[in-house]
Amino acid sequence: MLTDTRRSPYAKLAPVDGTRWTEGLWKDVEETLQKVTVPHLRSMFDAADISHVVENFRIAAGEAEGDFDGTVFGDGDFYKWMESAMYTAVHTNDQTLFAALDQYIELIERAQQPDGYLSTKQIIGERTGKAQRMGDINDFEVYNFGHMFTSAALYYRLTGKDRFLSVAARTADYLDHLYEEARRTGEVRTAVCPSHYMGLIELYRATGDPKYLRLAHTAIELRDSVKDGLDDNQDRIPVKEHRKIIGHAVRANYLYAGLADLYMEEGDPEYKAVLDSVWDDLVRHKIYITGGCGALYNGASPYGNFFHHQLIHQAYGYPYQLPNTTAYNETCANVGLVMWAYRMFLADPKPEYFDVIERVMLNTNLASVSLDGRRFFYQNALARAKKLDFELVWPLTRAEYIMSYCCPPNLARNLAQASEYAYTMTEDTVYTGLYGASEVQVQLENGTSFLLQQKTNYPFDGHIEFCVQGLTGPAKLAVRIPAWAQDATLDGQTVQPGYAVIDLREGTIVLDLPMPVRLTAANVMVEEDDGLVCVERGPLVYCVESPDAAVDSLHQLRLEAEPDLKPETIEIENRKIPALSGTMRAVRRRPEETLYHTWTAGAEDRVPVRMIPYFAWDNRGMGEMKIWFSTGI
């Protein structure tokens, strides 16, 4: 169970545990993850000459010689991989992988210090004088703690084994003493990428010990005591004054996910007001059509003091500041957005939260890994040129290993847990979330149980059948009608976007979501997209790549106002991909190399073009990619 809100007093929904994908896109993704991605990531973490992560644990445990190497946040990234391995072991009943996980847990336990402290750089550095505890927030110690808390709570829920949970509890107790000292002295520094808010509350939910909830409350409350805070870290102003989403996108999304967790346990209405306002700023002003977020490689806070200029990395910038070629959209930020949106939904079941989850998962997150499951994007651009006149931090194509290896394991756990987003429930109602062929045995609090199967080829087709068997009592099904779905029908009756609630019965309930090709325009304030449109079908955003258009540059292409694009199925990397084929107008004019030039109309030809889902791009070699096109109108 991803997050357990069954006993959270201010949560309106709880997860439905045990959903399994049976076929279709999500089943393909899951199998690739299990067979390729999880083992591949494990080999990267095991390799002393690549990531050095497991080796750091061995050195910290006194079982190997050497110095710390790799990234300071490698411990936390390894815990994220462990989550993906846990789900893989459960879903495949892989006893060998279970045994390996237990061995890793034993190693982690041996590396833990007697006072509960556990971050390998500092443990090794204390012996050599090269590092000390809590000396620099950018050493990510508490980030490492937080991911351990979450991973340990998950392993306990999935297996009933409590050894890892005990390790995590000892580290949380260490953190408790640290924060008590901070409260006494008033010397507080906010931890970066605050995974520990979510982690501590999951530890509380798993153990039932209220001290971990109090610790999470204290950790968030202490943010307000930070002196000379920065928008980069969302600690320039008190948390309860937050109204805009600003700064480092991963840090922001982790913060608000943790704040949503705290709200579901304590119900502070001021925190709910913060969450609602900041969320509204995100979806109105700062999210891409693909669901990507954190648009800027580097930017200055639009809200901070002008005289204290703040350079912010992977940042939320000004409203509508959404560049395409240089879009950052770090994969970790997008994963964090899913976690935040999910918690917002559990607290307040508005369909817009799952509309965002669906958009992020099916577009940006699936695009962050190659179809073969081995190569990854750190950043997720919305356009690619054949060459740039400047160098970006990260490569323009996916890589098997990235210097900052936080994103691949974060994505792996997100995709491994995708089935958790299929359903949630109240006492007597099941809510649909992500659609996909699946089945689950449901047990509601009112005593009703039943087998719920979903038969569909979604997201490639909008016909979805819910098959109910063994219904033992009254229950309802709340069916999500996405905001893009017009003329949808549920059992033949027209339904509007939002949640349509229907009484469950034995047999089949049919949802039809028509999926015509549609053109989408951005707000005119999004300067890079002004006068342009993109193509969507159902929940998928489409793009054109160089192999699919016989032109010198994709910038020559113009969409018709009513494009004649027909669905067809193609294969990329041995995967069936739902493409759209038709024609576009191509201007017979090469792009000018000067900054400004005299405009000429240029003759136009019609050229055959194929569009593919954004999630399938960058699997056929280096070339251009484009989402937004002029219609010439």
pLDDT of residue 633: 45
pLDDT(577) > 90? yes
Closest CA to 4 of 175, 219, 201: 201
Q: 81-105: per-residue pLDDT in tens?
A: 999 999 999 999 999 999 999 999 9
pLDDT of residue 230: 85
305 confidence band (pLDDT: 50, 70, 90):
low
The H-assigned helical ranges of 267-350 are 269-285, 331-347
Strand order in the sheet with 247-248: 247-248, 311-316, 296-300
Output 144 or 310, whichever has higher pLDDT: 144
Kindly calculate the radius of gyration of the chain based on its CA atoms and give it in whole angstroms: 25
pLDDT of residue 308: 61
207 confidence band (pLDDT: 50, 70, 90):
very high
Q: 370-382: per-residue pLDDT in tens?
A: 999 999 999 999 9
pLDDT(206) > 90? yes
Read off the tokens for 479. 């069916």
β strands within 426-497, DSSP E: 429-432, 438-443, 449-456, 463-469, 476-481, 488-490, 493-495
Torsion of CA 366, 195, 294, 243, to 10 degrees: 130
Read off the tokens for 394. 């990260």
Rounded to 5°, angle at Cα 486 from 482 and 488: 80
pLDDT of residue 307: 61
pLDDT(632) > 80? no
Per domain, the residue ranges of the chain are 14-421, 425-512, 520-630
Instruction: Describe the crossing of helices 407-416 and 24-32 by its angle, rounded to 10 degrees.
Output: 130
Percent of the chain at pLDDT exceeding 90: 84
Q: 222-254: per-residue pLDDT in tens?
A: 998 888 888 888 998 999 999 999 999 999 999
- The DSSP output letter for 248 is E
Closest CA to 275 of 211, 330, 220: 220
Q: 423-457: per-residue pLDDT in tens?
A: 999 999 999 999 999 999 999 999 999 999 999 99
Q: 265-298: per-residue pLDDT in tens?
A: 999 999 999 999 999 999 999 999 999 999 998 8
Q: 555-575: per-residue pLDDT in tens?
A: 999 998 889 999 999 999 999
What's the mean per-residue pLDDT of the chain? 94
Contact 482, 464 (CB under 8 A): no
How large is the average pLDDT for residues 203-217? 97
CATH of the structural domain 14-421, one choice from 1.10.260.40, 2.30.40.10, 1.50.10.20, 1.10.357.10: 1.50.10.20
Read off the tokens for 337. 């957005």
d(CA 304, CA 315): 13
pLDDT(597) > 90? no
